[in-house]
Amino acid sequence: MDEIRTARSKIRSRADAAAFVDEAKAADRTVVFTNGCFDILHIGHVRYLQAARALGDVLVVGVNIDESVRALKGPGRPLNPETERAEVLAALECVDCVTLFNEATPIELILAIKPDIHSKGGDYAPDDLPEAEAVRGVGGKVVVIAYSTTDTQGKSTTELIGRMAAHREE
């Protein structure tokens, strides 16, 4: 039972996540932030999150709420509710803090927590991210982790769901 409490203790409100980041920065630790849906946690997510954590000392993960995932991915998503997606992420050793956000982009969350680094996966370009200006505005930088460094090309929840559907049809 201790593992569950430990994972759940890493899930924080926006205000508590901001306080956590403030404490980390006061201790001269580099804070990395990333965000996403994380609907079905898979090897691509794990490798990416480990690479993001390696960019600094603390990793904070913003998780889209269910309504936001539906808007981004379609009416059949998410497959797992936001509280469970947050807890699964929080159980990972490389993740230090998880917080939910309900906006279409993580801009408001970034403005609240003020990370040193905002990390995204290889399918993004830094200047194409709507939150890039907010990151720079709080003194941070945007880092895109190339698929080649994490061997995550083609490893996505959408592809996994597609393979599961194809297997079911066989």
Q: What is the CATH number of domain 2-169?
A: 3.40.50.620
The answer on pLDDT for 1 being more than 50 is: no
d(CA 50, CA 76): 28
Task: Report the mean per-residue pLDDT for the chain.
Answer: 89
Residue 55: left (phi > 0), alpha (psi -120 to 50), or beta? alpha
pLDDT tens, position by position, 152-162: 555 555 565 55
Break the chain into its structural domains and give their ranges. 2-169
Amino acid at 17: A
| Residue 170 CB neighbours (<10 A) | 4
Counting residues of the chain whose pLDDT is more than 90, the rounded percentage is: 71
The answer on pLDDT for 169 being more than 70 is: no
pLDDT tens, position by position, 123-147: 788 888 999 999 999 999 999 998 7
Q: Which of 66, 128, 145 is nearest to 102 (CA)?
A: 66
Output the furthest CA–CA distance in the chain (Å, rounded).
56
Handedness of CA 133, 134, 139, 144 (dihedral sign): negative
Is the distance from CB of 55 to CB of 48 less than 8 angstroms? no
Q: Which of 117, 144, 146, 132 is nearest to 59 (CA)?
A: 117
